[in-house]
Amino acid sequence: MTTITVETAFVEKTPLERYVAPEKPSLVGVTRSQLAALLGAVGVPEAQRKMRVQQLWHWIYFRGFTEFEQMTSLSKELRARLSENFTLARPEVVAEQVSVDGTRKWLLRLPGEVQGERPHEVECVYIPDTERGTLCVSSQVGCTLTCSFCHTGTQRFVRNLTADEIVGQVMVARDRLGDWPGGTRPSDGVIPTGDRCVTNVVMMGMGEPLYNLDAVRDALLIVADGEGLTISKRRITLSTSGVVPNIERAGAEIGCMLAVSLHAVRDELRNELVPLNRKYPIAQLLEACRNYPGVSNAKRITFEYVMLKGVNDSIEDAKALVRLLKGIPAKINLIPFNPWPGSKYECSDWEQIEKFSQVVFDAGYASPVRTPRGRDILAACGQLKSATEKLSARERMALRAMAMTD
């Protein structure tokens, strides 16, 4: 087995910058109670607020309107007052890339830019299939953590996203995909055949969601609201590297599906791959999973396991994985390592991945091997890195070469 030495001596990064609110706040991403308070602040009588909240919620999240003037059920006077004090701004699409397999990646610039400072940007990825479309959403600019196999982990941790910036990614995706009533679907790439383009949301983009739990909770509850974006909690998955104290809170306060980035069966190796393990070792993490609210055979926890050649892909590792997860309703998602310029790992050979998968399957666990999507545009799992740190020309050439050899 290959021995990997991680140079990173720290577990978590501290934020380098702070959130600067735009001059006029956006109503996208505020809760119903927050929306009622904002309406009160601009003079909407208390007796009218519940009705006005309901109307705005419909226009913003069901119809996807971007201008108050479009909201014909509101009086002209109220529309003018709302326009004067608020916006419906989403993140700005700086760039869009479409992979040969139909995956789309958007580089999004966040509102609240400060003159003279580098704008804050994140990446958001849309992965279409014939019957569903999964949106991979970011929770931080950069990442708190330092996972050695993940491209985002090499980036600076700039700051947490706000709830409106998280919801805004979903809104932008639906805008770009024509995923509102009467919208026009794009003609390039793959689009699901059903009524909705975005059917699933996964918090698997840039950042560790459980280090930004309050904003992630507020955002996902808006995404799941049955009178707006209406994405079922069973179609929303939050992925964590193992912030143990917040796992139970996420289950109790959000109630979505849980995915855990495990990647190793021994603390010694996981300390290197996922340095957060030094703080919350495997035994603590799995105990938190056993106690996740609502976990059952109908609501299984997904354990993600990246396949690294000669590092964690032996048959002995597969058998140990099965033993570790005994008693936890689970499925195991095997992820072929997606290379990025400068990474020191290689993807396991396909034959070895199949052998590993068979051991897990024979033990009674679903063990799908995730098909790499969007590698050619650096949009696959573990490859996201915003233009806050742009790739050099040499890195882009190396990326294209790796994509061509897969």
Q: Does a structural domain hold residue 165? A: yes
Q: Does a structural domain hold residue 15? A: no
Q: Does a structural domain hold residue 7? A: no
Res 343: pLDDT: 86
Which residues are part of the catalytic machinery? 123, 381
Q: Does a structural domain hold residue 369? A: yes
Please give the chain's pLDDT, 406 residues, in tens. Answer: 444 444 444 577 877 777 778 889 999 999 999 999 999 999 999 999 999 999 999 999 999 999 999 999 999 999 999 999 999 999 999 999 988 888 999 999 997 665 556 789 999 999 998 889 999 999 999 888 989 888 877 788 889 999 999 999 999 999 999 999 999 998 877 788 888 999 999 999 899 999 999 999 999 999 999 999 999 999 999 999 999 999 999 999 999 999 999 999 999 999 999 999 999 999 999 999 999 999 999 999 999 999 999 999 999 999 999 999 999 999 999 999 988 788 889 999 999 999 999 999 999 998 888 666 655 655 444 444 544 444 444 444 444 444 434 3
Q: Does a structural domain hold residue 3? A: no
Q: Does a structural domain hold residue 18? A: no
Give yes or no: residues 310 and 379 share one domain: yes
Whole-model pTM? 0.88
Res 117: pLDDT: 66
Give yes or no: residues 81 and 123 share one domain: no
Which two tokens mark 234?
């069973």
Nearest to 382 by CA among 337, 333, 331, 334: 337
Q: How far apart are CA 218 and CA 353, in angstroms?
A: 38
Q: How far apart are CA 49 and CA 39, in angstroms?
A: 7
Q: How far apart are CA 211 and CA 240, in angstroms?
A: 9
3-class secondary-structure state, position 91: coil
Contacts for 358 with CB less than 8 Å, ≥ 6 apart: none
Burial 47-64 (b: 16+ CB within 10 A, else e): eebeebbeebbebbbeeb
The residue type at 79:
R
Q: ∠ at Cα 295 (301, 207), nearest 5°?
A: 45
Size of the chain, expressed as the number of residues it contains: 406
Res 100: pLDDT: 85
Q: Does a structural domain hold residue 27? A: no
Four-CA torsion 381, 387, 389, 391, nearest 10 degrees: 70
Res 187: pLDDT: 84
Give yes or no: residues 76 and 108 share one domain: no
Give yes or no: residues 150 and 289 share one domain: yes
Give yes or no: residues 144 and 77 share one domain: no
Pair 112, 19: CB distance under 8 Å: yes
Give yes or no: residues 161 and 104 share one domain: yes
Q: Does a structural domain hold residue 19? A: no
Question: Token match 């003609």: residue?
Answer: 187
Question: Phi/psi of residue 320, each to 5°?
Answer: -65, -35
Pair 113, 52: CB distance under 8 Å: no
Give yes or no: residues 272 and 382 share one domain: yes
Give yes or no: residues 163 and 312 share one domain: yes
Burial class of residue 108 in the structure, from the number of CB atoms within 10 Å of its CB (0-12 exposed, 13-18 middle, 19+ buried): buried
Res 372: pLDDT: 61
Q: How far apart are CA 106 and CA 257, in angstroms?
A: 25
Q: Give the end of a domain, one of 42, 67, 85.
A: 85
Give yes or no: residues 70 and 105 share one domain: no
Q: Give the end of a domain, one of 70, 85, 100.
A: 85
Q: Give the end of a domain, one of 45, 64, 85.
A: 85
Question: Token match 């996981």: residue?
Answer: 270
Q: Which domain holds residue 288?
A: 92-405
Res 342: pLDDT: 82
Give yes or no: residues 130 and 264 share one domain: yes
Give yes or no: residues 45 and 147 share one domain: no
Q: How far apart are CA 120 and CA 96, in angstroms?
A: 17
* Domains contained in the chain, number: 2
Q: Which CATH number do you get for residue 248?
A: 3.20.20.70
User: Which residues on adjacent β-strands are paired with residue 123?
Assistant: 107
Give yes or no: residues 74 and 194 share one domain: no
